[in-house]
């Protein structure tokens, strides 16, 4: 319910903080005191159109905050959660309006759009006035209200379940048909692609393995080339660069050794040449050892160009196929499996479609059967609702009116989770008149009283916890006004009701009474709200009965009205 309303700088209101309790709260006051300003302020917080004229003269902006305490499990919590807005046990809707006409909206201090603010408010407050009927006047909600009034919840839940099963089967059937049609259109390409990829036979992780093998083989080839180059420098002839024995360090060492040997006489050794000869011998031995080591390395590092070529050809083939199909190489095995599945669908698809068609037909039949039961339950509930509303109309001076709940079959394309019925509340205000939509047939006062009659019957089935009635008693008095007050009190037993009224009979029914008055201070008119109780409330109701001059008779009549249980 609405627990508090905070208003700043709206028209004649500079600063106003109101609190509300459960039950029926009445707002009274002389014409022009500012009761409509309170409703306009509440409407601003509910997402109504923002007009710069609402900003109080001299102020830069107006603001209104409405604090609600919805019951546990109320739909408002789901709506706010969808928007990422936290809400535990309170919801604050706030609107700030600048002098330039621009406004900002907030839900629990989180910025929101005006559209979301309006959606949230529609779950919390319903306004019934002579000139702006909402809620019950909207046919979109009539089926839900009728169901809440008299259709078993289990039947409605089963309808939603069967509708979901039917729609799921229809969706699966459509998807299967689309897959087959797509496969048939691309059959030639599909077969070619499957054949090509099947010959390629890509394997998971193959690209990484091939890249590693390629790198290893390239490194081995470079190693073998380096070893061969080293051998060729030591012994060019042995490395295959020609038969010459006069090139390379080995030949040079032998030539140097022979030259030194010619310096010595036969069978003798030149003492001075001996160290050089020994050094040449050691060098020749070291060179021979180096040649042997390099030869062994060459044997172990012998590269296989054929293996490198094969690895590169395979890697390049995989990457070319990936580019052709617009996927990563790692996705080629999955692509092949998908293409094979699509190709297989050409062969098995017809049988699958047949099975899905049977399933769709079966779920449709099951839903249609449930809809027939739901329609029968609604017709029975509609008859009870019509009788219940009819009993409420005569005391509200609508004895000639006829209320009708119209139930019509929807086209199959419009079937939904709520069934196959279009439900409308219709009214005929005069004998012989064809019933028509509520908002188009009844006058403002008639429509307000009709809405009240409906609320008396339907209030328990609506999730909206707060109702606002704006002068529902306009143009009536006496017994009719008393009947209106009695019914408002009954509605207020189930939901919170806020009522703007000029009727003392209605005002006397309130559990709480607020008087709206306009006062002038420092040459400026301001609207204030005064809670009334005891003698003050008695005096206000007496004023409503007698006018400007309150008599003792009026006070006695006020006592009589306040004494009505």
Q: How far apart are CA 411 and CA 490, in angstroms?
A: 39
**Cα 38 from chain centre:** 34
Residue 538 pLDDT > 60: yes
Q: Is 257 helix (H, G, I), strand (E, B) or coil?
A: helix
Pick the most confident of 129-138, 241-250, 485-494.
485-494
Distances (CA, A) of 290 to 296, 464, 536: 10, 99, 122
Asked if residue 499 lies in contact with residue 506, where contact means CB atoms within 8 angstroms, the answer is yes
Q: Identify how many contiguous H helices and E strands the chain contains and give both numbers.
A: 17, 15
Q: How far apart are CA 415 and CA 432, in angstroms?
A: 33
Q: What's the whole-model pTM score?
A: 0.63
Residue 320 pLDDT > 70: yes
Residue 519 pLDDT > 50: yes
Q: 129 phi and psi, to 5 degrees?
A: -135, 175
User: Which of the pair, 286 or 66, is modelled with greater confidence?
Assistant: 66
Q: What is the pLDDT of residue 297?
A: 74
Q: How far apart are CA 94 and CA 46, in angstroms?
A: 8
Query: 40-44, 276-280, 382-386, 522-526 — which is least confidently predicted?
Result: 276-280
Nearest in space to 529 (alpha carbons), one of 517, 512, 547: 517
| H/E stretch holding 5 | strand 2-10
DSSP secondary structure string for all residues of 95-111: EEEETTS-EEEEETTEE
Confidence of residue 188 (pLDDT cuts 50, 70, 90): confident
Pick the most confident of 360-364, 397-401, 517-521, 526-530.
360-364
Query: 206-215, 244-253, 278-287, 369-378 — which is least confidently predicted?
Result: 244-253
Mean pLDDT computed over every residue of the chain: 84
Query: 224-228, 372-376, 476-480 — which is least confidently predicted?
Result: 224-228
Alpha helices (H) in 201-267, listed in sequence order? 206-234, 248-261
Residue 318 pLDDT > 80: yes
Give 518's strand partners: 527
Asked if residue 207 lies in contact with residue 329, where contact means CB atoms within 8 angstroms, the answer is yes
Instruction: Show Cβ contacts of residue 154 under 8 Å, excluding neighbours closer than 6 positions.
Output: none
For 54-113, what is each residue's pLDDT tens digit?
999 989 999 999 999 998 889 999 999 999 998 888 999 999 999 998 999 999 999 999
What does the block give as tokens for 352?
Answer: 């699958």
Average pLDDT over residues 378-384: 95
Asked if residue 194 lies in contact with residue 299, where contact means CB atoms within 8 angstroms, the answer is no
Q: What is the pLDDT of residue 131?
A: 47
Which position has the token pair 């008119």? Answer: 525
Query: 132-141, 145-154, 289-298 — which is least confidently predicted?
Result: 132-141
Query: 125-139, 311-325, 362-376 — which is least confidently predicted?
Result: 125-139
Q: What is the pLDDT of residue 65?
A: 96
For 419-460, what is each residue's pLDDT tens digit?
999 999 998 888 888 888 876 766 666 777 787 888 888 866
What does the block give as tokens for 475?
Answer: 């143009």
Q: What is the pLDDT of residue 241?
A: 46
Q: How far apart are CA 376 and CA 103, in angstroms?
A: 48
Q: How far apart are CA 299 and CA 293, in angstroms?
A: 10
Nearest in space to 322 (alpha carbons), one of 210, 214, 180, 186: 210
| H/E stretch holding 296 | helix 274-300
Average pLDDT over residues 174-203: 83
Confidence of residue 245 (pLDDT cuts 50, 70, 90): very low
Q: How far apart are CA 377 and CA 373, in angstroms?
A: 6
* Cα Rg of the chain (Å, integer): 47
Residue 183 pLDDT > 80: no
Give 421's strand partners: 409
Burial 340-349 (b: 16+ CB within 10 A, else e): eebbebeeeb
Residue 526 pLDDT > 70: yes
Angle formed by the axes of helices 444-458 and 478-491, nearest 10° = 40
- The three-state (H, E, C) secondary structure of 151-197, written as one string: CCHHHHHHHHHHHHHHHHHHHHHHHHHHHHHHHHHCHHHHHHHHHHH
Q: How far apart are CA 468 and CA 41, in angstroms?
A: 13
Average pLDDT over residues 282-291: 78
Q: DSSP code of 50?
A: P
Bridge-based pairing state of the strands 524-532 and 13-19: unpaired
Residue 49 pLDDT > 60: yes
What does the block give as tokens for 293?
Answer: 């080591």
**Cα 114 from chain centre:** 17
Pick the most confident of 115-124, 157-166, 501-510.
157-166
**pLDDT over 90 for what percent of the chain?**
38
Average pLDDT over residues 199-220: 79
Burial 297-326 (b: 16+ CB within 10 A, else e): bbeebebeeeebeebeebbeebeebbeebe
Neighbouring C-beta atoms of residue 351, cutoff 10 Å: 9
Q: How far apart are CA 52 and CA 59, in angstroms?
A: 11
Q: How far apart are CA 134 and CA 138, in angstroms?
A: 6
Q: What is the pLDDT of residue 294?
A: 73
DSSP secondary structure string for all residues of 437-473: EHHHHS-HHHHHHHHHHHHHHHGGG----EEEEESTT
Q: How far apart are CA 150 and CA 347, in angstroms?
A: 52
For 116-134, what is each residue's pLDDT tens digit?
999 999 899 988 765 454 5
Query: 17-21, 115-119, 309-313, 546-550 — which is least confidently predicted?
Result: 309-313
Q: What is the pLDDT of residue 301?
A: 59
Residue 243 pLDDT > 50: no
Q: How far apart are CA 488 and CA 500, in angstroms?
A: 12
Average pLDDT over residues 391-416: 91
Instruction: Show Cβ contacts of residue 79 under 8 Å, excluding neighbours closer than 6 positions.
Output: 119, 120, 123
Q: What is the pLDDT of residue 242?
A: 47
């Amino acid at each position: 319910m609405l627990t508090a309303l905070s208003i700043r700088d709206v028209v004649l209101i500079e600063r106003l903080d109101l609190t509300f309790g459960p039950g029926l709260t009445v707002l009274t006051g002389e014409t022009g005191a500012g009761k409509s300003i309170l409703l306009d302020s509440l409407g601003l917080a509910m997402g109504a159109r923002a007009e710069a004229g609402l900003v109080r003269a001299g102020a830069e902006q107006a603001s209104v905050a409405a604090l609600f305490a919805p019951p546990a499990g109320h739909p408002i919590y789901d709506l706010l959660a969808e928007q990422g807005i936290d809400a535990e046990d309170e919801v604050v809707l706030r609107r700030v309006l600048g002098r330039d006409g621009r406004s900002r909206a907030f839900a629990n201090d989180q910025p929101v759009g005006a559209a979301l603010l309006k959606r949230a408010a529609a779950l919390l407050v319903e306004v019934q006035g002579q000139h702006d009927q909402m809620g019950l006047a909207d046919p979109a909600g009539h089926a839900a209200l009728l169901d809440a009034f008299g259709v078993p919840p289990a039947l409605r839940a089963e309808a939603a379940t069967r509708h979901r099963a039917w729609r799921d089967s229809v969706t699966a059937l459509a998807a299967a048909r689309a897959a087959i049609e797509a496969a048939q259109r691309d059959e030639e390409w599909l077969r070619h692609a499957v054949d090509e990829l099947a010959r390629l036979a890509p394997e998971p992780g193959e690209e990484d393995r091939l890249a590693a093998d390629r790198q290893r083989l390239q490194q081995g080839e470079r190693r073998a080339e380096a070893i061969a180059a080293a051998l060729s420098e030591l012994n060019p002839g042995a490395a295959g660069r020609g038969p010459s024995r006069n090139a390379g360090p080995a030949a040079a060492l032998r030539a140097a050794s022979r030259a030194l040997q010619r310096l010595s006489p036969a069978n003798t050794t030149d003492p001075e040449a001996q160290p050089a000869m020994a050094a040449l011998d050691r060098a020749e031995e070291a060179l021979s050892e180096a040649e042997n080591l390099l030869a062994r390395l060459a044997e172990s590092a012998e590269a296989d160009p054929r293996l490198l070529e094969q690895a590169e050809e395979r890697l390049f083939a995989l990457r070319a196929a990936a580019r052709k199909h617009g996927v990563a190489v790692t996705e080629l095995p999955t692509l092949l499996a998908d293409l094979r599945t699509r190709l297989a669908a050409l062969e098995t698809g017809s049988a699958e479609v047949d099975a899905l068609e049977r399933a769709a037909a079966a779920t449709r039949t099951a839903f249609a059967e449930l809809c027939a039961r739901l329609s029968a339950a609604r017709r029975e509930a509609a008859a009870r609702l019509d009788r219940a509303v009819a009993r409420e109309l005569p005391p509200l001076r609508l004895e000639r009116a006829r209320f009708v709940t119209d139930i019509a079959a929807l086209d199959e394309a419009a079937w939904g989770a709520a069934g196959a019925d279009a439900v409308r509340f219709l009214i005929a205000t005069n004998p012989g008149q064809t019933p028509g939509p509520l908002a188009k047939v009844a006058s403002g006062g008639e429509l307000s009283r009709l809405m009240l009659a409906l609320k008396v019957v339907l209030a328990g089935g609506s999730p909206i916890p707060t109702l606002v009635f704006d002068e529902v008693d306009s143009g009536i008095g006496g017994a009719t006004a008393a009947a209106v007050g009695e019914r408002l009190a009954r509605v207020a037993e189930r939901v919170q009701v806020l009522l703007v009224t000029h009727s003392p009979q209605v005002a006397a029914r309130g559990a709480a009474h607020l008087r709206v008055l306009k006062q002038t201070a420092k040459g400026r008119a301001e609207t204030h709200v005064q809670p009334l109780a005891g003698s003050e409330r008695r005096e206000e109701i007496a004023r409503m009965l007698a006018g400007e001059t309150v008599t003792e008779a009026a006070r006695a009549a006020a006592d009589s009205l306040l004494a009505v249980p």
